């Protein structure tokens, strides 16, 4: 399925998302740049017009000094000063002694505007008829009355300034737009080229059939490393699960071969014989072999579950072993009495908290107790105890049975291992299940000879603090 078909299905596109993410900032950048351009153009236009305004004021002062000694402004000069195609400009001449001589009476410089001799033009803002104006004022001496001073002011509206700023903006927008478009095309090309680096990885994964080997970090872009490492983690979990399945199949075939073969032999024996005793004996053997097969299959399933070392959210919770273990031991008392085994518990009164899974712990303790009931022998004693060891908690199951020779203790916990010479039938999976469940809880298992010569199995858990 090609990319266009995926787009039509409404699937998310990384390329489209990248381009959209970049297009919005580029558009905002164009608007911001346009604003900056307009402000800059307006500042430039104000500077130019201020210079022209000062020149007009100085020209009017010179003209009045040479051509109008009485401070009057001719009608022609007044027309030129006030003329504006779409509005009007303003001027005024105020005498310190006689007041307004010419021009607009509202356009009077504010008090305190002039400092020093007043020969330098002064610029300021003013409003007339709700219009904002920019004005320039100068002081000059009245040639007819040397003791009198004239305030000469020329003002203009801001329309031309804004108009010129807009013209500059309109001239710059096409160039800026082309620049942004060119940048966007370069980004689009870069994104398209960059995403092509995923093609070899896609091809590599597509060509795999049953290969779950890690992708590795070689020739993988840095930005894709988190994804490939996550895929490698997934492959590792799949390899582990497949290995468990393959091991389960192999173990099942290994362990069920003998009872199935026995079932076939005794079934043929019962079928071929007419002797009631022979048939009864064959059925007894068949029943025992069926029980053995059931127990073996159950323990194989338990071992497979115990070998799953991946912790999912909610698998574990704070557990008080001082409350849980006595409860679980109490559930096995009737079986112990039936096997003529004295099963007891010894532990502290205070809480002993661990982070664990109740069902797995019950399965582990059941296998430890089953191991004692099976091999300790009738009339034996079995004690389940809990003790605190510094920052750890020790769960121990000890019996006074025949025990295990020291040369074989190190092999306890191996799959299908049974102590040579043992008369009791078993699958050799019970302690292997205990070992795997302990590893799931980050605990360790210790095998040793008990104080009364039997077997002692200790499971040491890291304790946890509960607020």
Domain residue limits, the chain: 12-196, 222-306, 317-462
- Of 43, 136, 129, which is closest to residue 87 (Cα–Cα)? 129
For range 129-140, the mean pLDDT: 85
Compute the C-alpha angle 433/410/311, nearest 5°.
30
- Same CATH fold assignment for domains 222-306 and 317-462: no
pLDDT at 461 > cutoff 90: yes
> What residue spans of 411-466 are helical by DSSP H?
430-440
Pick the range with the lowest mean pLDDT from 218-222, 270-274, 310-314: 310-314
CA distance 169 to 180: 16
Residue 228 pLDDT level (bands cut at 50, 70, 90) = confident
Span of 53-62, 203-212, 390-399, 414-423 with lowest mean pLDDT: 414-423
User: Looking at the predicted structure, is the pLDDT value of residue 280 above 50?
Assistant: yes
Per residue in 356-393, pLDDT (tens digit) is 888 889 888 988 998 888 888 888 999 999 999 888 99
pLDDT for 116 = 63
User: Buried b vs exposed e over 402-426: b needs ≥16 C-beta within 10 Å?
Assistant: bbbeeeebeebbebeebbeeeeeeb
Segment 445-466 mean pLDDT: 87
Q: What pLDDT shows up at residue 386?
A: 93
User: Residue 466 — very low, low, confident or very high, per pLDDT cuts 50/70/90?
Assistant: low
Q: What is the pLDDT of residue 389?
A: 84
CA distances, 48 to each of 37, 40, 41, 91, 444 (Å): 16, 13, 11, 19, 88
Of 398, 400, 403, 389, nearest to 346 (Cα)?
398
| DSSP E strands, 10-84 | 83-84
Residue 72 in this model has a pLDDT that exceeds 70? no
| Tens digits of residue pLDDT in 84-132 | 555 457 888 888 888 888 878 888 888 777 776 667 788 888 888 788 8
Query: Any residues with CB less than 8 A from the CB of 129 and at least 6 apart, and which?
Result: none
* Rounded distance between C-alpha atoms, residue 320 and residue 317, angstroms: 10
Q: What is the pLDDT of residue 62?
A: 80
What pLDDT does residue 93 have? 84
Report pLDDT for 77: 57
Rounded (5°) CA angle 345-466-330: 20
Percentage of the chain with pLDDT > 90? 10
pLDDT of residue 189: 79
Q: What is the band of 323 on the pLDDT scale with cuts at 50, 70, 90?
A: very high
Least confident of 127-136, 198-207, 406-415: 198-207
| pLDDT value for 393 | 92
DSSP state of 223: G
- State the CATH class of domain 317-462: alpha beta
Tell me the average pLDDT of the chain: 78
Question: Could you identify the residue written with the tokens 């033009």?
Answer: 121
pLDDT > 90? residue 176: no
Instruction: Please give the pLDDT value at position 66.
Output: 72
pLDDT in the model for residue 394: 93
Give the pTM.
0.45
Non-local (6+) Cβ contacts of 83 within 8 A are 89
Alpha helices (H) along 273-320: 276-306
CA distance 253 to 430: 18
On the question of pLDDT at 146 being above 90, the answer is no
Distant-in-sequence, close-in-space partners of 213: CB < 8 Å, separation ≥ 6: 235
pLDDT top residue among 298 and 176: 176
- Ranges of beta strands (E only) in 110-249 are 122-128, 131-141, 149-157
Other C-beta atoms within 10 Å of 139: how many? 20
* Size of the chain, expressed as the number of residues it contains: 467
**343 near 364, Cβ under 8 Å?**
no
Task: Please tell me the predicted confidence (pLDDT) of residue 244.
Answer: 59
Highest mean pLDDT among 234-243, 284-293, 312-321, 327-336: 327-336
Whether the per-residue pLDDT at 246 is higher than 90: the answer is no
Q: For residues 467 and 464, what is the distance between their CA atoms, to the nearest angstrom?
A: 10
Q: What is the pLDDT of residue 1?
A: 44
Weakest mean pLDDT among 72-81, 122-131, 157-166, 266-275: 72-81
Q: Which range, of 17-21, 52-56, 178-182, 253-257, averages the lowest pLDDT?
A: 253-257
Q: Which helix (H) or strand (E) holds 455?
A: strand 455-462
Question: Which has the minimum average pLDDT: 131-140, 199-208, 313-322, 396-405?
Answer: 199-208
Query: Has residue 36 got a pLDDT over 80?
Result: yes
Window from 63-77, 161-175, 367-381, 411-425 with minimum mean pLDDT: 63-77
Q: What is the CATH number of domain 222-306?
A: 1.10.287.130
Percent of the chain residues past pLDDT 70, beyond the cut: 73
Please list, in sequence order, all residues whose beta carbon lies within 8 angstroms of the beta carbon of residue 14, skipping any fewer than 6 positions away.
Answer: 195
């Amino acid at each position: 399925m090609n990319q266009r078909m995926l787009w039509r299905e409404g699937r998310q596109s990384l390329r489209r998302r990248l381009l959209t993410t970049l297009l919005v900032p580029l558009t905002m950048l164009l608007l911001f740049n346009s604003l900056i351009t307009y402000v800059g153009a307006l500042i430039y236009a104000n500077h130019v017009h201020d210079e022209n305004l000062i020149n007009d004021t100085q020209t009017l002062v010179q003209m009045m000094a040479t051509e109008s000694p009485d401070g009057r402004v001719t009608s022609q000069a007044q027309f030129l000063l006030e003329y504006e195609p779409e509005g009007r400009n303003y001027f005024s001449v105020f005498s310190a002694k006689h007041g307004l001589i010419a021009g607009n009476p509202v356009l009077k410089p504010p008090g305190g505007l002039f400092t020093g001799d007043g020969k330098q033009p002064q610029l300021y803002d003013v409003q007339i008829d709700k219009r904002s104006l920019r004005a320039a004022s100068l002081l000059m001496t009245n040639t007819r009355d040397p003791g009198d001073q004239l305030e000469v002011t020329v003002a203009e509206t801001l329309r031309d300034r804004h108009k010129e700023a807009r013209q500059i903006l309109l001239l710059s927008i096409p160039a800026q737009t082309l620049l942004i478009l060119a940048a966007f095309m370069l980004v689009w090309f870069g994104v398209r080229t960059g995403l092509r680096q995923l093609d070899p990885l896609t091809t590599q994964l597509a060509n795999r059939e049953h290969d779950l080997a890690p992708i590795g970090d070689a020739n993988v872009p840095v930005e894709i490393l988190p994804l490939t490492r996550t895929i490698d983690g997934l492959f590792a979990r799949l390899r582990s699960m497949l290995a468990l399945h393959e091991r389960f199949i192999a173990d099942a075939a290994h362990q069920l071969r003998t009872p199935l073969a026995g079932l076939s032999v005794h079934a043929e024996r019962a079928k071929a014989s007419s002797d009631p005793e022979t048939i009864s004996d064959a059925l007894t053997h068949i029943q025992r072999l069926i029980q053995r097969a059931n127990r073996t299959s159950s323990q194989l399933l338990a071992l497979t579950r115990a070998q799953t070392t991946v912790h999912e959210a909610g698998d574990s919770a704070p557990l008080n072993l001082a409350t849980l273990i006595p409860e679980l031991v109490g559930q096995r008392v009737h079986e112990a009495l039936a096997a003529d085994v004295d099963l007891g518990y010894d532990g502290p009164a205070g809480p002993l908290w661990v982070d664990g899974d109740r069902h797995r712990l019950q399965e582990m303790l059941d296998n430890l107790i089953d191991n004692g009931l099976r091999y300790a022998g009738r009339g034996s004693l079995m004690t389940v105890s809990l003790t605190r060891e510094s920052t750890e908690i020790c769960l121990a199951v000890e019996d006074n049975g025949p025990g295990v020779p020291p040369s074989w203790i190190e092999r306890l916990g191996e799959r299908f291992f049974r102590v040579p010479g043992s008369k009791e039938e078993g699958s050799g999976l019970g302690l292997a299940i205990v070992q795997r469940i302990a590893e799931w809880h980050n605990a360790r298992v210790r095998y040793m000879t008990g104080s009364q010569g039997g077997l002692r199995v200790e499971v040491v858990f890291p304790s946890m603090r509960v607020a």
